[in-house]
Amino acid sequence: MRITAAIAISLPIALLGACSSDGGDTPPGLCAATLAPGADDQTTLQAAFIGATTGDRLCLRAGTFRFTDELSLTVHGITLVGVEDTVLDFAGQVAGGNGMNITGDDFTAENFTLKNAPGDGIRVSGASNVTFRGLDVSWDAGSVTANGAYAIYPVTCEGVLVEDCDVAGASDAGIYVGQSTNIIVRNNKVHGNVAGIEIENSTNAEVHDNEAYDNTSGILVFNLPDLPVGDGHTTLVHHNIIRDNNRENFAGGGVVAAVPHGTGVIILANDNVEFRNNTVTGNISTGFAVASYKVLEPNPDDPDFDAYPETVYVHDNMFSDNGSDPQGLFLLSRTAPLEDMIWDGYFDANKVDTDGSLKICIKNNGAATFRNVDWPNNFATQSTDVAPHACEHPAIPPVTLAF
């Protein structure tokens, strides 16, 4: 039986059963429950989550569902699907930290709008095989510090797909994937956030065919200290458009609050990153920056943390009109103009790199400009000579997901 008797009592009978394509009002396909907005959406949807059985597809009709508390789901194998005009509005939420908090494996959220969460829009923690597809996540207030930190937030997950989403207004990162493995982020639009897309302390990620614009920074690939998963690596970033990320930083705190506005991409303390076939334009601080965590904290209090970015390969990208008005930390090294690509100059002197496998390699980026700002020596001997980085690393293969 797809819906338990207890849930059937709590839900209007007309909302249960198979879905049909009612002129776009209801998702097509078989549904364990079909839910419509009503007088008490909080009770209705939370009851459906509690009573769901593994493999259930919960369908949301068009209209606006309004919530007063966080929605939580622990059942595995649930698909939550709406239609173009399905809206989940958390503006009236008075309890709970996030809009939705999911811990079940094999979860799919598809084709609805989620807005005004007081914390993260939709958080999935410790799950396997997670899909976010066709979501629109935002805040009506626009890009303000009071918004939730993250819009789409899978963390400590195995197998993550984020595709065809539109995300705006997050006060930290619009699409954030943290401490996870086997990740694809593709065909999304991220705008009006502090960070558009952030891959943090994660391994085996592919970020491609996204458009990141009007954020403080377009794409971040970070490793940070003092986290349960401390060593993220192997990220392929390709065929993205990263343009005009010049919005003033409105983060309320954390590392991302230090990101200068006008930054296209930052690789921070992360290893084995390939950045290719991207278009990076109109970012006023710089298009692409590779940095050690030491620019933020000279001696991080984590003995197992590797603060240095290594094996970074930047090739076959198109850079233009970046660095016209550098901001924040970038002003320590140089006033305008600043080059398309920046390296802070930090490397781990305790590692012997006889074969060049740890180098920052830069190749075939057209007329793009480069600067080593020599941060370790207080910017004393800067260089715009890219020749020392004329090398290449093995290509990172695309990510294949098992689900």
Q: Give pLDDT tens digits for 279-288.
A: 999 999 999 9
Query: 110-136 pLDDT, tens per residue?
Result: 999 999 999 999 999 999 999 999 999
Tokens matching residue 297:
């904290």
* pLDDT tens column, 16-70: 443 344 457 999 889 999 999 999 999 999 999 999 999 999 999 999 999 999 9
Tokens of 304: 């197992």
Question: Which of 195-199, 349-353, 358-362 is least confident?
Answer: 349-353
Q: Band of the pLDDT at 89, cuts 50, 70, 90?
A: very high
Could you tell me the maximum CA-CA distance found in the chain, to the nearest angstrom?
Answer: 74
Cα angle 252-255-256, degrees, rounded to a multiple of 5: 65
- Give the C-alpha separation, 317 to 327, whole Å: 23
pLDDT tens, residue by residue, 314-331: 999 999 999 999 999 998
Encoded tokens for 243: 């343009």
Nearest to 61 by CA among 38, 78, 95, 77: 38
User: What is the average per-residue pLDDT within 152-157?
Assistant: 98
- Cα–Cα distance measured from residue 225 to residue 306, given in angstroms and rounded to the nearest whole number: 8
DSSP 303-329: TT-----EEEEEES-EEES--SS--GG
| Chain-centre distance for alpha carbon 112 | 18
47: three-class secondary structure by DSSP = helix
Is-contact 167 143, C-beta < 8 A? no
Q: Whole-number mean pLDDT of the chain?
A: 93
Q: Which of 126, 130, 341 is nearest to 229 (CA)?
A: 126
Confidence check: pLDDT of 243 > 70: yes
Answer whether residue 254 shows pLDDT above 50.
Answer: yes
Please give the pLDDT value at position 10: 39
3-class DSSP state of 122: strand
* Mean pLDDT, residues 364-374 taken together: 97
How many percent of the chain have pLDDT more than 90?
89
Query: Chain-centre distance of CA 322, in angstroms?
Result: 23
Q: Specify the pLDDT at position 335.
A: 79
Instruction: Provide the H-helix boundaries in 31-161.
Output: 41-51
Q: Domains, the chain, ranges and CATH?
A: 119-389 (2.160.20)
Bridge partners of 128? 158
In angstroms, the CA 63 to CA 80 distance is: 15
**pLDDT tens digits along 287-318:** 999 999 999 999 888 989 999 999 999 999 99
Residues 6+ apart with CB under 8 A from 360: 290, 309, 312, 314, 343, 389
Cβ atoms of 30 and 20 within 8 Å: the answer is no
Overall average pLDDT of the 205-232 stretch: 96
Per-residue model confidence (pLDDT) at position 3: 37
